[in-house]
Amino acid sequence: MNLPNLLTLSRIFLVPLLVAALLAEPGDGWRRLIPAWREMFALAVFLAAAATDFIDGYLARRWGQITTVGMLLDPIADKLLISAALVSLVDIHRVPAWMVILIVGREFAVSGLRSIAAASGYTIQASELGKTKMVSQVAAIALVIAGIRYPALNQLGLIGMWLVVIFAGASAAGYFRNFWRTVDVQVKRRRRRELLALQRERFRERKLAKQARRAAAVDSRAGAPAAD
């Protein structure tokens, strides 16, 4: 287990702590373990977890430690962190539920497209708009969490969430377009080639069968007794 993978795992392990900090009530046992300014503690946990997303990828590329495990865990950790933060903020009525449904739904849709592409032998790379969406998510969620303690930031947090919805929709459209242009077209071409190859094989088999029948007919005439 290398350092980039450990950072990715730490992001996953910080998710329950983030949820507990956001949802802890005065009577909860969690409340005694969390500082009085739980909003600022939640913000610190969220920013620390988000920072690992940028650090682990940078270190993996710089040190040549890109692994299959890391490639699988990194997007899972990202989605867990963002989804857990947004759902928690909906629960405490800080973010509209419809926004979270769109954002989280987009994540599942894009993951589904990538899975279909991977099963077909193709890779859909993360777009620049998708990376911008991730940065905007972190900034918007951080503003919303900070707005719990400092109401003056609420408007900025709402604006940030609108930007996240816009970026999420635009990047999802880009992923769908790339999917249809690459994977769908390539799959159709590959199936067309497979169909043509199958047709050629069947034609060759019919030709061989016809030749075998002709040879058998010739042999049967050659072996027949001559008439008196």
The length of the chain is 228
- Structural domains of the chain in order of their starting residue, each with its CATH number: 3-190 (1.20.120.1760)
Residues 18, 45: Cα–Cα separation, whole Å: 6
Region 100-106: what's the mean pLDDT?
Answer: 92
Neighbours of 101 (CB within 10 A): 12
Virtual torsion, Cα 118, 104, 87, 98, nearest 10 deg: -170
Residues 115, 149: Cα–Cα separation, whole Å: 40
Q: Which residue has the higher pLDDT, 112 or 102?
A: 102
- Tell me the pLDDT of the chain averaged across its residues: 81
Does residue 213 surpass a pLDDT of 80?
A: no
Residues 83, 54: Cα–Cα separation, whole Å: 18
- Rounded to two decimals, what is the model's pTM? 0.74
- Most confident among 25-34, 205-214, 218-227 (mean pLDDT): 205-214
Residues 130, 176: Cα–Cα separation, whole Å: 12
Residues 5, 11: Cα–Cα separation, whole Å: 10
Region 170-186: what's the mean pLDDT?
Answer: 77
Q: Number of C-alpha atoms within 13 angstroms, CB side, residue 217?
A: 6
3-state secondary structure of 5: helix
Does residue 67 surpass a pLDDT of 90?
A: no
Please report which confidence band the pLDDT of residue 160 belongs to, taking 50, 70 and 90 as the band edges: very high
Please report which confidence band the pLDDT of residue 175 belongs to, taking 50, 70 and 90 as the band edges: confident
Residues 198, 110: Cα–Cα separation, whole Å: 34
